[in-house]
């Protein structure tokens, strides 16, 4: 009887051990089976996640502002307003332009734009914005006229607006800086009716087409200057080129008068930026009409 009880106890213990081992094996298999499902779900989630939007390089390039181009070596400058367009015999576009009032450029100029792939005209502006009324800076090779009397444009830049960069006036004060050689300012009264007095600072970047020694009270000047100005009275700007004033020929359209209320920069010395002083470094002496 005692032997039967021991055998029964042993049989129960063995049975429990077997059942326990089966349970652990099943749990392990279930855990290992669930792991790949989790990895697959994660992979699917990653694949379904929206990709980050990227801006095409072409779009960035189109959004970037077009910088003005420097004067080609040996070129001649002309600044004026487009009054009309024409087409040359070879199908090229020709700009019919008038000079900025008070300058000694030719009174009018026909500017041919080349786009034949060999020596294309270079644009320091968005060429699509070019139209009647555009005020441009044009560089061309002097002495090389086309059969139709036009000149071929090497570079075309946007010159903003005539009344923002040109001023015609009479000198009322010449004030060299006693501490800085080659620097000072010129105070001018306007020649245009309704204009206002202006002070033009000058320095190493200023090109004097008329020698500074010849400028005195009463001298009439044509000043090409930075579009930046102070809010002082009188306003101040930086002179890039100073020339003798050339009276318009009979019938020439007068320049518009600058609006004194137009937004201006508040830089106290109106020092030009690198872009504003880059252009007047080559052959810039205006040709005479």
> Can you spell out the DSSP letters for 61-106?
HHHSPPPPPPPPTT-EEEEEEEEEEEE-TTS-EEEEEEEPTT--S-
- State mean pLDDT over 119-142: 94
What residue has token string 């749990």?
27
Q: How many angstroms separate the CA atoms of 111 and 109, rounded? A: 6
Confidence at 277, pLDDT banded by 50, 70, 90: very low
- State mean pLDDT over 244-265: 65
Per-residue confidence (pLDDT) for residue 266, from 0 to 100? 42
Given a cut of 50, whether residue 27 has pLDDT beyond it is no
What residue has token string 């032997």?
3
Could you give the dihedral angle defined by the CA atoms of residues 130, 134, 58 and 121, in that order, rounded to the nearest 10 degrees? Answer: 60
Per-residue confidence (pLDDT) for residue 274, from 0 to 100? 47
Given a cut of 70, whether residue 33 has pLDDT beyond it is no
Per-residue confidence (pLDDT) for residue 35, from 0 to 100? 40
Confidence at 250, pLDDT banded by 50, 70, 90: confident
Average pLDDT, the chain: 78
Please tell me which residue, 166 or 115, carries the higher pLDDT value.
Answer: 166
Read off the pLDDT of residues 40-75 as tens digits, 9 standing for 90 and up. Answer: 444 444 444 445 555 555 545 455 678 899 999 999
Per-residue confidence (pLDDT) for residue 54, from 0 to 100? 52
Per-residue confidence (pLDDT) for residue 12, from 0 to 100? 53
Per-residue confidence (pLDDT) for residue 258, from 0 to 100? 46
- State mean pLDDT over 266-276: 48
Does this model's pTM top 0.75?
Answer: no
Per-residue confidence (pLDDT) for residue 206, from 0 to 100? 97
Q: How many angstroms separate the CA atoms of 134 and 124, rounded? A: 14
Q: How many angstroms separate the CA atoms of 157 and 126, rounded? A: 9
Given a cut of 90, whether residue 17 has pLDDT beyond it is no
Read off the pLDDT of residues 81-129 as tens digits, 9 standing for 90 and up. Answer: 999 999 999 899 999 999 999 999 999 999 999 987 667 999 999 999 9
């Amino acid at each position: 009887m005692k032997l039967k009880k021991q055998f029964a106890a042993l049989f129960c213990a063995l049975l429990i051990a077997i059942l326990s081992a089966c349970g652990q094996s099943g749990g392990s298999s279930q855990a290992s089976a669930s792991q790949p499902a989790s990895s697959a779900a994660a992979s699917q989630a990653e694949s379904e996640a929206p990709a980050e939007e990227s801006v095409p390089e072409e779009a960035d390039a189109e959004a970037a502002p077009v910088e003005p181009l420097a004067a080609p070596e040996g070129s001649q400058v002309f600044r004026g307003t487009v009054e009309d367009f024409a087409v040359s015999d070879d199908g090229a576009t020709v700009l019919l332009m008038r000079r900025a009032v008070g300058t000694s450029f030719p009174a009018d100029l026909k500017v041919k734009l080349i786009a034949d792939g060999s020596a294309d005209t270079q644009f320091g502006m968005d060429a699509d914005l070019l139209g009647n009324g555009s005020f441009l800076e044009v560089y061309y090779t002097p002495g090389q006229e086309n059969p139709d009397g036009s000149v071929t444009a090497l570079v075309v830049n946007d010159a903003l607006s005539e009344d923002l960069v040109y001023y015609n006036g009479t000198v009322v004060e010449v004030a060299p800086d006693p501490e800085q050689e080659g620097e000072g300012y010129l105070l001018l009264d306007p020649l245009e009716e309704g204009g206002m007095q202006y002070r033009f600072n000058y320095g190493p970047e200023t090109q004097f087409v008329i020698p500074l020694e010849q400028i005195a009270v009463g001298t009439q000047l044509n000043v090409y200057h930075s579009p930046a100005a102070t809010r002082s009275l009188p306003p101040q700007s930086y002179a890039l080129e100073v020339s003798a004033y050339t009276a318009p020929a009979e019938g020439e359209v007068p320049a518009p008068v600058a609006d004194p209320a137009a937004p201006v920069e508040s830089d106290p010395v109106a020092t030009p930026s690198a872009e504003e002083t880059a252009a007047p470094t080559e052959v810039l002496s205006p040709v005479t009409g």
